Chain A
Amino acid sequence: MASVAMSESKSGRFMPAAFRNATADALCMVAVLLLVALAAFFFGGVAMQRVVTYAAIMLTAVLGLQIFSGNSGIVSFGQAAFVGLGAYATGILTMPTALQRTALRDLPQFLAGHELSFFAALAVVLVLAVVIGLLTGTPLLRLTGSSASIATLAMLIIVYTLLVAGREITRGSQPFYGVPREVGLWTAAAVASVALVAARLFRETSFGLASRAAANDERGAAAVGVDQRTARLAAWVAGVVAAMAAGAMMAQFLGAFSPRDFYFDLGFTMLAMLIVGGMTSSLGAFAGVVVTIVVIEIVRRFEGGGEVLGLHLPVLFGLTQGVLAIAMILVIWRRPTGLFGERELNLLRRSGRKPDMASAAPPQQVGGDKLVADRLSRRYAGVVAVDNVSLSFETDSISGIIGPNGAGKTTLLNMLAGDIKPSAGTVSVGGTVREASAFRFARSGIARTFQNIRVFPSMTVLENVVVAARQVEPDLGRAEAAAMRELSRMGLDKFADQPAARLAYGQRRRLEVARALALKPRFLLLDEPAAGMNAVETAELVSILSAVRAERRIGVVLIEHDMRLVMNLCERIVVIDHGRVIADGTPADVQNNPAVIAAYLGSRTARATTAHATAENQTA
C-alpha cells in the first residue's frame, strides 16, 4: 500500500500534472501532423506535398504568433516581419558563394561566402532571433493593449522599410534569388512538430501562466506577484524565435522572394489562420492553419476565373484574401473564441485524471514581523484621501479597518499592498522600506484581495492558484500540490479543472482568498471580503479566516462594512475618517468612543449630543 503511494508520488514528481497533460496534447497534434505528412508523401503528388510543406511552415509561424498573442492577449501585426528577417538571414547564409558574387555584389564582407547548410543556418537564425526578440520586445512591452498592437504594426513597417532600403544586403524591392531549396516535407514537418510541442508547453510554464494571468486581469496578476513585463517579454521572444524559424524554412522553400512577401498580406493570412482556429490555444492555431489552408486551396482554383456549375466567373483579384476576411469576420461574430474554443485538448484531464494532491509540506508558521505605515499620505487632485497615517500591524493578529464611505480605507490598503505610490510617507515590511510595486510587495509576503473580485476568469480554478503558488515555489509539481491544498482548504478542490468564470460569486471570493494564501504571505490584506455574501457564506468566511490565522500565524488586515463580522473577528479596530485615524483599539474601546459614534455611525443623536456638549463647553 505504502509502496504504491510512493511510486505514484514519484511519477508525480517526475513531471507535474500540467506538463504531463500538455505533453500528451502536443504529441497527439504532432501525430496528426505526421500522419498528414505521411499521407502526402505516399499518396499525394508533388503539388500536394508542396501544399503540406507550406502548411507546416505557416503552422510554425502561426504558433509563434499564438505563443505571444494567445498568452498575452496583445494582437501582433508585426509577426510577418520576423518571418521576413528569418528568410533573408537564411538566404544570405545559405546562398552558394559563386551566385552571391553576382546577385549581391555589394554584400558586406562579414556576411559573404558562408554557404552554410540549412540546419547550420537555422541555428544561427535562432540565436539571432533571441537577440532581435529581446531588442524589439523591451520597448514594446512598456505599452499596453491597443497601443502595443499598433507598435507591432510600426515594427512591421520598420522592418519592411529596412529590407527595401538595405539594397546591398537584400537587393531592395527586387527579388532575392538563388537560395538553395533544401527544405522539403520532412524538414518542415519536423520543425513544425517542435514548434507545436513548444507552444503547447509554453502555456504551462511560469511565463505562460503569468502572461495569461496578466492578460486576464493586470492588477490581479500584480497582486499575486506576477511581473508581467518579464512574462510578456519571454512570450514575445519565443514568438519571434518561431517566426524566424518559419522564415528560415520559407526562404529555402520559395528559393526566391522579395520584401513584399513578408508584409501585410502575410501578416493578415497568419492572423486570419489564428483567429479562425482560436487565438488562446495551440489547438486553435493548429486547427486554424489546417482549415484555412484547405479553404485557400479550394478558393485558389477559382481565382483565375472559369466555369463553375455553368456560371462564368470573371478573374478575381485577391479572392483568397477576400474569403479569408469573410471567414475571419464570421468567426469573430458567431464564435469569438475561434472554431476550437479557448481550451486545449486536455486529453489527460478529460479522461478523468485528477491533478495530484500529494501532501506538500504544510505551510510553515510565520511570526514576529511588522507591516508599518509611516506618515502615509495620498492626494488626488485637491482631495486628500489619506492624511498622515502612521500604523503598525503585527503577524498573528486580525485587525479591521473601518470608516464611512470615502474615508480612504481602500487607498490606505492599496498603499499597504504597494499598488499605489504614496504622495508622502513610507511602507516597510519586516523593517525594510519598500518602493511601491504591487508584484514586489506580493513576493515579499503581502497578499491581498480586491473589493470587486479580480480572479482570472478564463484560467482554471487550479491555474488561478498555481500562478500565485509558483511565486514562492519555483517547482511546478510542488506548486500544484500547494495550490490544491489551498483549494481544498477553501472547499473548492472539486472545481479545480473548471474555468474560474463558472464559479458562483461566493466561490470566487473564496478562490481569491485561496490564491492570496498560496503566496504563503506574512500579511493578508482583505478589501471587503464579505461584500455581497449572505449570512451563511459570511459565517463560513469568518471561521476560515480565524482558522487560517490560528494555523499560520499570519497578520490579517481587513476592510469591512459588516459590523458584526468586524466585531466578532477582529482583535483590533482602526477607525478612519477623512483620511485620518480617529480611533485605534479593541472592539469594545472603539464601540464606546464618542468620536467614532459621531463620525462613523453618523447617528443624529450622537451628533446632537456632541454639538450640545461643545456648545456647553463653549458657553462654560
Chain B
Amino acid sequence: MVAQQIINAVSLGGVYALLALGLAIVFSIVGLINFAHGELMTLSGYALLASLVLGLPFPVAVLVAVTCGALAAVAMERIAFRPMRGASVTSLLLTSFAVSSLLKVVFQNGISARPQAVAMPGWMTGAFSFGDFTIGVGPSISIVVSALALIALEVFLRRSVTGTAMRAAAEDFDVVRLMGIPASRIIATAFLLSGLLAGLAAMLWVAQRASVDPLMGFTPVLKAFIAAVVGGLGSLPGAVAGGFLLGIIEVLLQATLPATIAPYRDAIVLSGVIAVLLLRPQGLIPAVRVQRS
C-alpha cells in the first residue's frame, strides 16, 4: 500500500515535472509563461484519439500524438507569439491566456464539450506483483518515461550546439544573438521541446484516465505553473524539482488527510507553496540571469 502510494506520487510528480520543464524552457528564453501549454496537451490527447480511431497501431499513434504536440507548439509560436516579439512580458502572458481560451472554445465546438473515451491497450491498466507489492503498470511506465525524457533533454542541452546555445540564451539572449546564432531557431527549438514534453505528459495523463476532453490540460498545467514558480521561474532543474515536490505532496496528502479535510487539499498544498515562496522568493533553485548595472 505504501509502495503503491509512493509510485503514484512519483508518477504524478513526473507528469508535473515534464509540464513544468516545458514551461520553464520557454520562459527562460522568451520570458513567456505559456498559458496555452495545457491546450498543447489537450491537442496531443485528441491526436492520439484520432490516430487510434483511424486504426493506427498504438505505438505509432503515440508517436503521431507527441509529434502533433511538438508541431502545434511551433505553430503556436509562429502564429501567435512571433508577431509579438519584443513585446513586454505582460503582453506575452496575456496573449497566451487569450490563445488558451480561444483554443478551448475551438475544441468545445470543433470536437465535443464531452469527454471522449480513448481505447488504451489492456496491459496498460494492469498491475504486476512484486513480492508482496502490487504495482500498477501505468504509473511505472509514467515514471520510466519521465526519467528517460529528463535524461534525454539534459543530454541534448549539454551536448548539442543548439542545446548549448539555448542554455546560453537562457542567461543572456542578446549576447547569444550577437554570436551569430539566429534567434528564431532558438525560440522555435524551445517551443518544439516544450510541445514535445507536453505531448509526452498528455500520453501519461491519458494512459491513466482513458479519456480526453477540452479542459484536459487545464488542471495539470495549472499545477505545473505553480511547480515552475516554486522551483524558480525559468530554472530547469528548479522546474523538475518543483514538479516532483508538488506531485509527491499532493498524493501523500490525499492518502493521509482525514475525509473531512480532504476536500481542502489543493488549498493546503497551494498555501504551502506560497509559504515556501515567502521564505525563498526566487524559488528553490533560482535561475541565473545576467544583470547589467
A-side residues, CB < 8 A to B, are: 73, 75, 77, 139-140, 142-147, 149-151, 153-155, 157-158, 161-162, 164-165, 268, 271-272, 275, 279, 314, 316-319, 321-322, 324-326, 328-329, 332-333, 336, 410, 414, 450-452
Contact = CB atoms under 8 A, between A and B. Distances in A.
17 contacts: A139-B275, A142-B281, A146-B27, A150-B33, A150-B228, A151-B274, A154-B274, A157-B266, A157-B270, A158-B270, A161-B265, A165-B263, A165-B267, A271-B97, A316-B109, A332-B87, A333-B83
A150 B24 CA distance: 13
Nearest to A144: B281
**7 nearest A-B residue pairs (beta carbon):** A165-B263, A322-B105, A325-B102, A161-B267, A328-B98, A325-B101, A325-B98
Contact of B273 (A154, A322, A324): A154
Interface centre among B99, B273, B277, by most chain A C-beta atoms within 10 angstroms, is B277
Given A146-B233, A150-B226, A161 B266 contact: yes
A438 to B, nearest CB: 13
A306 to B, nearest CB: 15
Contacts of A336: 87-88, 91
Contact of A329 (B95, B113, B265, B275): B95
B293 interface: yes
B33 A146 contact: yes
Q: How large is the interface on B (under 10, 10 to 19, 20 to 34, 35 or more residues)?
A: 35 or more
Contacts of B271: 158
A75 B93 contact: yes
A127 B74 CA distance: 49
B217 to A, nearest CB: 13
Contacts of A139: 274-275, 277-278
Contact of B277 (A142, A157, A272, A450): A142
Contacts of B106: 322
Contact of A322 (B80, B101, B267, B281): B101
A162 B264 contact: yes
B102 A154 contact: no
For the residues of A in contact with B, the DSSP-based class is: helix
A77 B281 CA distance: 19
A158 B271 CA distance: 7
B138 to A, nearest CB: 26
A268 B222 contact: no
A77 B293 CA distance: 32
Contacts of A451: 293
A452 B109 CA distance: 52
Contacts of B33: 146, 149-150
A317 B94 contact: no
Contact of A332 (B84, B102, B273): B84
B104 interface: yes
Interface string B103-114: 011101100010
Contact of B225 (A142, A150, A314, A321): A150
B229 interface: yes
A140 B275 CA distance: 10
B90 interface: yes
A144 B89 CA distance: 12
A578 to B, nearest CB: 18
A38 to B, nearest CB: 35
A271 B229 CA distance: 22
Nearest to B280: A142
Nearest to A165: B263
Contacts of B89: 145-146
B46 to A, nearest CB: 16
Contacts of A333: 83-84, 95
A158 B266 contact: yes
A450 B42 CA distance: 48
Given A77-B97, A147-B283, A450-B293, 10 more contacts: A146-B33, A153-B226, A157-B222, A161-B267, A279-B90, A321-B101, A322-B101, A325-B102, A333-B83, A336-B91
Contacts of B281: 142-144, 147
A275 B87 CA distance: 14
Nearest to B273: A154
Contacts of A155: 270, 274
B19 to A, nearest CB: 14
Interface string B204-238: 00000000000000000010011011000100000
A369 B207 CA distance: 72
Interface in B235-293: 263-267, 270-271, 273-275, 277-278, 281, 283, 292-293
Nearest to A267: B97
A149 B225 CA distance: 10
A151 B94 contact: no
Contacts of B27: 146
A151 B277 contact: yes
Contact of B97 (A145, A268, A316): A268
Contacts of A146: 27, 31, 33, 89, 93, 233
Contacts of B277: 139, 142-143, 147, 151
Nearest to B232: A147
Nearest to A330: B98
B5 to A, nearest CB: 22
A386 to B, nearest CB: 14
B154 to A, nearest CB: 24
Nearest to B104: A318
A149 B226 CA distance: 11
B227 to A, nearest CB: 10
A314 B267 CA distance: 40
B98 A151 contact: no
